[in-house]
Amino acid sequence: MHDARQKLIFALDVGNLDEARRWVEQLQGQVGVFKIGKQLFTRCGPEVVNMVQAGGGDVFLDLKYHDIPNTVAMAGLEAYRLGVKMFNVHALGGFEMMARLVAEIDKVCPRGNPARPILLAVTILTSSNEETLRAVGIDRPISVMVSKLARLAKDAGMDGVVASPQEVDLIRTACGADFAIVTPGVRPAFASQDDQKRVMTPGDALRAGADYLVIGRPISAAADPVAAAKMILEEMQTALEGS
């Protein structure tokens, strides 16, 4: 039996601890994982991670590390010590950066240990287009870069990637079934697209092969966020049972 709740990640895109706490208290019945990004973590630090965990939630620490291998490995060890369920780095940091992180995590928490975080890589940000890439000297199509970077992450021992739902097929082809795919850009039929350009419904994203869905405004901007989260969970459960 799949537990859709553990596959639903709510984006805690808020500015302070009190607001974050209100969302966790409100959604903890529906949402298993809360994503903490740069703004909230820079403001609150580890306290916000502890708050989510005390409320029974797991944490996706979305800090997208990108630095020299030693710095990323040491930051990753701190993320592990915070007990987060998953955290991420930029695959553009390179093979050695990711492999060194994996090696350090292996030492403290071998594969198979339930406390081991899921190590995720970001390939190409969905805010980038081919013009953005050309301006930094990358002349290849986005789809080529996404598969190349996903494969690099897999070869370095990373556990999965964050990717748009449209890239799931590409990544499955490059990396196989045993590789986690976390997708933002998910919009249930009842919600607005906001600024997301290429969206999929929760059911379609799971059927396409996504493992976790990151959803923010379709829940936070709903008139009744708990009811919205419940509808999303039901749609996810139906898709998971059909797969």
Are 210 and 1 in contact by the 8 Å Cβ rule? The answer is no
Which residues of this chain interact with ligand C5P, rule CB under 6 A? 11, 13, 37, 125-126, 162, 184-185, 194, 196, 214-218
Do residues 190 and 148 lie in contact, with contact meaning Cβ atoms separated by under 8 Å? no
Position with the least CB separation from ligand C5P: 216
Minimum distance from CB of 47 to ligand C5P (Å)? 20
Amino acid at 17: L
Task: Provide, rounded to whole angstroms, the least separation between the CB of residue 162 and ligand C5P.
Answer: 6
- Cα angle at 6 between 154 and 209, to 5 degrees? 45
Q: Which residues touch 215 (CB under 8 Å, ≥6 apart)? A: 8, 9, 10, 11, 184, 186, 202, 232
Q: Which is nearer to ligand C5P, 196 or 237 (CB)?
A: 196
For tokens 């190349």, the residue is 148
Q: Which of 7, 35, 38, 64 is catalytic?
A: 64
Nearer to ligand C5P, 72 or 146 (CB): 146
CA dihedral 78, 82, 83, 86 (to 10 degrees): -60
Among residues 8 and 11, whose Cβ is nearest to ligand C5P?
11
CB of 106 to ligand C5P, least distance (A): 27
Active-site residue 64, yes or no? yes
CA of residue 167 relative to chain centroid, distance: 14
Residue 6 per-residue DSSP state: G
Minimal distance in Å, beta carbon 37 to ligand C5P?
Answer: 6
Least Å distance, CB 205 to ligand C5P, is 12
What backbone phi and psi angles, to 5 degrees, belong to 226? -65, -40
Residue of 5, 14, 76 whose CA lies nearest to 41: 14
The smaller minimum CB distance to ligand C5P, of residues 104 and 159, is found at 159
Cβ proximity to ligand C5P, 79 vs 228, nearer residue: 228
Q: Quote the CA–CA distance of 142 and 126 in Å, as a whole number.
A: 10
The catalytic residues are: 64
